[in-house]
Structure 1
Amino acid sequence: MKISAKECEETKYWLLICKHSKNYPSSEELLSKIESIQKILNKIIATDKQK
């Protein structure tokens, strides 16, 4: 799960770069989805640490 969280963070980084690019289509929807996925992964990791 930690690897997935890191990959999610990297994907978010690249989507933010694409957001500021003139030649790339809008990535707002993808950013919204990746943030949701990131919240889920962080919750899973936090719950696992409590056990």
Structure 2
Amino acid sequence: MLRSVTSIGANAEEATAAQSRKDFIHKIAIAAKEARETEYWLRYLDRFTMTTISVSNYLIEIEHILNIITKIIKTSQEDTIK
């Protein structure tokens, strides 16, 4: 989980230095995939009670992050079409 959660920010940061809009969309889409993987691991931890901490707030936060990244992708794709 540590790998996927830290990869979200790393890929988003990489996207800021993209060489083209297509490259930006590709890199930010990778960040979205990593966010989905993080969400999977959080649900897994929650379902199988593998931790003593509550992960419900983290699930809410990762959902917000996914919504933001998805909006960035959609807006970037729309700007490409125009």
**Structure 2 length-normalised TM:** 0.59
**1:1-51: CA deviations, max 9, x gaps?**
001000000000000000012231210000000000000000000000001
> 2:32 maps to what in 1?
5
Report % sequence identity. 37
C-alpha distance in 2, partners of 1:23/1:39?
Answer: 26
TM superposition outliers: structure 1 runs of 4+ over 3 Å: none
1:20 is aligned to 2:47: yes
Alignment-mate amino acid for residue 28 of structure 1:
S
Q: Which of 1 and 2 has greater Rg?
A: 2
C-alpha distance in 2, partners of 1:3/1:22?
Answer: 28
Stretches of structure 1 lacking an aligned partner (at least 5 in a row):
none
